[in-house]
Amino acid sequence: MASTTNPHDPQFYTIDFHEFKIQTTVTASSRVVDRWIFHIYHHIHLHGYRFHSDFIVRLDTEWRPNFEPETDNPVAILQLCAGHRCLIFKFLHADTLPSSLVAFLGNKNTTFAGMGESRKMQKNCSRIVGFVFHVQWMWVRWL
């Protein structure tokens, strides 16, 4: 008999990237998201980062495929990376939208960076996300 996994059970991975070890959490559980955000705030406080000027959170989203014109599907996955910690939050299977996530994304003193995310997030989550920096603009300036 094949075993099935509960989408709310978190999965933890350590990803080796050059000399870095990236701790990655994959979950649909709001409680796991709460803990991940707590650890990020603890890290910021511990290392004396100042929001917005010193600490940048990488943000990416994945959307369900859209097969009908003029229809926008909701976010399926939210990916956040801060320092050496990443969170992959499965919105489609989530038990609830964590209030800690709404507060974290809505913090006007946090800079979120992503490729093409500013337009997508402004269109779909403008009430939630505080400040999104579009990385592509930086690449254009460097060229």
What pTM was computed for the model?
0.74
CA distance 110 to 132: 9
Q: What is the pLDDT of residue 25?
A: 96
Exposed, middle or buried by CB within 10 Å (0-12, 13-18, 19+), for 25? buried
Q: What is the pLDDT of residue 3?
A: 52
CA distance 35 to 140: 37
Does pLDDT of 135 surpass 50?
no
Does pLDDT of 77 surpass 50?
yes
SS3 for 95?
Answer: coil
Question: Domains (ranges, CATH) in the chain?
Answer: 11-64+72-142 (3.30.420.10)
Q: Which two tokens stand for residue 130?
A: 């505080």
Which one is predicted more confidently, 9 or 31? 31
Mean pLDDT is highest, among 2-6, 16-20, 44-48, 136-140, for 16-20
The end-to-end CA distance of the chain, in Å, is 56
CA within 13 Å, CB half, 84: 11
**The one-letter amino acid at 36:** W
**32 confidence band (pLDDT: 50, 70, 90):** very high
pLDDT in tens, 35-51: 999 998 887 776 666 55
Q: Which two tokens stand for residue 85?
A: 């910690």
**The one-letter amino acid at 74:** P
